[in-house]
Copies of this chain bind each other. A is one copy, B any other.
């Protein structure tokens, strides 16, 4: 249960775009150099994000990549979901249960075991979605300390919201 390479590097790439938003498009080469990964890999990752309509690209000389929307309106949750190959067991919506993914050779998780595990991931996934969907790319453009404060705030708001079982307007 860990963050995949695609998620990590893809997130870094789109963060570069967020950083230089409202200027000229950023070239793949620039991103590759500042992140220390190959241009080809950057292309692949940004293609995934482009198909998810989070990034737009401009071809030709003077071209490059840019965010499709404002950094404030793109959430970390959206980005992570776009970069996750399949519907993850943890990352996605609480409706997607792991029983759908890992059923062994049996028909379904009829035995109690699998169903005992399910609620654990249900709660964890709900928390994760709650947190990641309330952190925008803009939030991540600050110092490490400031980001930490935002995330902790969001984390607590998320828990409070879920404890009450309702939808609360998160203010910060």
A interface residues with partner B (beta carbon < 8 Å): 1-5, 7-9, 11-12, 15-16, 19, 34-37, 76, 80, 84, 86, 88-91, 98, 101-106, 111-124, 127-128, 131-132, 135, 140-144, 147-148, 151-152, 155-156, 159, 162-163
Which chain B residues lie closer than 8 Å to A15 at the CB level?
A: 113, 116-117
Which chain B residues lie closer than 8 Å to A106 at the CB level?
A: 35-36
Which chain B residues lie closer than 8 Å to A76 at the CB level?
A: 120
Given contacts A102-B8, A122-B148, contact A1 B116 (CB under 8 A): no
Judge whether B159 and A155 touch: CB under 8 Å.
yes
The count of identical subunits is 2
Which chain B residues lie closer than 8 Å to A140 at the CB level?
A: 116-117, 120
Which residue of the partner chain B has the closest CB to A2?
B88
Interface pairs A-B: 7 shortest CB-CB: A36-B104, A36-B106, A2-B88, A119-B148, A159-B159, A36-B105, A116-B140
